[in-house]
Structure 1
Amino acid sequence: MELSQTAAIVTGGASGLGGATATALAGKGARVFALDLAEPIAAAERIDGITYVETDVTDPEQVQAAVDTAAGAGVPLRTVVNCAGIGPSARILSKKGTHDLDLFRKVVEVNLIGTFNVTTLAAEAIGKTEPLTDEQRGVVINTASIAAYDGQIGQAAYAASKGGVVGLNLPAARDLASAGIRVLTIAPGIIDTPMLATVGEDVRAGLAAGVPFPKRLGRPDEYAQLVLDLVGHDYLNGEVIRLDGSLRMAPR
């Protein structure tokens, strides 16, 4: 599928994985609508081809408005990449007591329900476009994590939410096949995003040392490159791809 003269939605599109993906899609000629919260949008570098839309992915009305904006851009909406997510850490039991239920609920709401919300509403819009070769209309790419498989101590909420994204992948691909929409999921390892910005260099070096090869942190642009590869490969569907340098996380 070609990106030129099409519209794309990227959630979490003002920074990190989403920011790199929005930039890469715009570089291929897509009209990108980067959905994010007000603070990251205010800090984002303005790039030609990217329109920033303040959106809470857990709010159906806000997402519907953003989808309507992208679908009404004058070119067909073909691509959706869900990168919005949060990753607070807390143990189920600790010296502070039990895991806060509201925190667990919030992580699942953003990472899993937000992904489902955007996927559903955007798929409805994509399904109304004119089909391409093989009746294809578009692609949805979601973001899980290797924590879905190798959740560490303190990652109960995060791992559960990302495990849900992995579980969503195949039934979503099957559900949306009749609309000509492919669904894929990327499960990144340790990527050098703003989430790691507050971590000391010694910690970063330790994280990088645990990666079998290449022995370094991943880069957001490598995630974005994989997105471009998946968009362009029309026979890839219903698959979860790990982007982790062969890393398997230890308990802590």
Structure 2
Amino acid sequence: MTESLSQTDKHPFIRKIESIALFTLSDGERAALLALPLQITQFEAYQDIVREGDRPARCFAVFDGIACTYKSTLGGRRQVMAYHVAGDIPDIQSLHLKVLDISIGTVGPCRVGFVHHDAVRALLRAYPRLGDALWRATLIDAALVREWMLNTGRRDAYARMAHLFCELITRLGAVGLAPDRSCDLPMTQPELADALGITPVHVNRTIRDLKEAGLITLRSRRLMVNDWEGLKAAAEFDPTYLHLTDRDPA
């Protein structure tokens, strides 16, 4: 069954486009985005949405929850390459690349909307500026991967964790989902280890250190930033790579 987005410009998908576009969406562009025929699907935690080697005829947007892009070695060791929050379109590259070279799975429960490539192509033909916005989103995804490479390759564990938390708060804030610099954090310690390139034991110690420094509170998988400037300093966090029109969450 297909359906359209709720008729509101407060939807995270609309907020995401507006947060990165170099123009203000027209009424027609917003209406066209909201009218996309979507197959809404609910996934539970730890499920793959798409897998490496797939040849998809559709792509998807995240509506609720957090997903992750990852790759695995033949021995099953996993590296998380990026997290995806509400409003993101993680596999938009499948419009042009026939075979996926990554897998995308859920971190916690996720609701996503699938849309066939033909519908996306028709949208972009009718509204070329939206094509510019999606191309910009793809370039920003590449910038995010570059920053993650620096994070895991050259920062220590304390800075890596602080940087990840700053990024999530900033990206969720851009779509209205980080009130008072707080957000849900469904990742387990082993999952954070897969993203940061450290052991689960080191994850535990690093979170403890961030708490003891008074920078964060983490309780019942809810992250609260107590000292935003201190957390940014610990992370050496510069949000330029996210290329948001409003770079600092309220």
TM-score, structure 1 as length reference: 0.31
TM-score, structure 2 as length reference: 0.31
